[in-house]
Amino acid sequence: MIKNLFCGMLVGIANIIPGVSGGTIIVILGLFDKLMESISNIFKIKISFKERLENLWFVLQVVIGAGIGLVLFAKVLNYLFSHFELQTLAFFAGLILLSIPMLKKEELNGKKTNYLFFILGIITIALIAYLVPDSKESTITYNELIAKNLSFGYIIVLVLLGFISGATMIFPGISGSMILLVLGWYHLFKSYVAYVTSFNIKILIPLMLIAIGVGLGIIASAKLTNYLLKNHKVNTMSFILGLILASAVIIFFPIKTELYTLVGIITSIITFIIGGSLIYLLDKLKNKKA
């Protein structure tokens, strides 16, 4: 249970960072296939109540962990991005890039990568990154949030925001935050999460609407991914590996050039190595346990 909660927390943290995919973290931690199948099994008709409950409990552990990660680390990540943007992204890049050989070995089981789908994955991320606006939306203040009225149109936006976050939260390679940046909703999402501890009803109700969308998005994404993995695993994993590779590279491009100082580059190399070393250690521990 502790492991599942911790993994969920890492997924939640990853989903706050534009360019970093929570689904990639799930794959890295070895929970991807199990999570997709568990979510799909919850809604199966021909399954015993005990099995449904076991699957639901596993999914809840990961989701609760993701919620904790989002809430606890939203402000921490705001601080890290304000003071150590390059180093923070280098850590996640190391985490992601060094995981690719491990994922290829585990998920493809010796089968050859389909390079057509691999390249399509790279192109998909490149296209999303191209569509991200150059001028980033300014941070939304607490007073601006509570001043917003819950009109029908705004409710739809909040549910859609949650749906996109949920669908991309568990799909490897695609960053939900990057998609939200393209749509202009990223800072709205991050600000609501950051101010949840105010317990203001004007913050909590929109968050509940976002949570409904997240749940719907997770179910839809899991159903589709589970089907693709069972019926077209090599093509699906080749596409996912392309997404992961491109997303690990593309996260550096929006960074201001003035951050690339000698000290910044050296410290980023160090955090990159730390991220890669963490993956290496996790892989060793997993093999030792096996």
Dump pLDDT digits (tens) for 121-165.
899 888 877 776 655 445 677 888 888 888 898 999 899 988 987
What is the pLDDT, as a whole number, of residue 116?
94
Measuring CA to CA, which residue among 191, 214, 217 is closest to residue 202?
191
Between CA 121 and CA 253 the distance in angstroms is 18
Tokens (6 digits) for 47: 């399954």
Cα angle 228, 213, 188; round to 5: 120
Is pLDDT at 213 greater than 60 in this prediction? yes
Comparison of pLDDT for 182 and 76, the residue scoring more: 76
What is the pLDDT, as a whole number, of residue 97?
80
Burial class (CB in 10 A: 0-12, 13-18, 19+), 271: buried
Tokens (6 digits) for 149: 């009225």
Is pLDDT at 103 greater than 60 in this prediction? yes
Q: At what angle do helices 176-183 and 186-194 cross, to 10 degrees?
A: 120
Measuring CA to CA, which residue among 290, 272, 239, 287 is closest to residue 104?
239
3-state SS record for 254-282? CCCHHHCCHHHHHHHHHHHHHHHHHHHHH
Tokens (6 digits) for 253: 């491009």
Kindly indicate the confidence band of residue 205, based on its pLDDT and cuts at 50, 70 and 90.
Answer: very high
User: pLDDT averaged over the chain?
Assistant: 80
Number of structural domains in the chain: 1
Measuring CA to CA, which residue among 4, 42, 85, 69 is closest to residue 215?
42
Between CA 36 and CA 225 the distance in angstroms is 7
Domain that holds residue 114: 2-289
- The answer to pTM > 0.75 is no
Between CA 176 and CA 219 the distance in angstroms is 15
Is pLDDT at 71 greater than 80 in this prediction? no
Per-residue pLDDT of 9-61, as tens digits, reads 887 777 766 556 677 777 777 777 788 888 878 877 778 888 889 888 988 88
Tokens (6 digits) for 120: 């399509």
Task: Count CB atoms within 10 A of the CB of residue 147.
Answer: 9
The length of the chain, given as a count of residues: 290
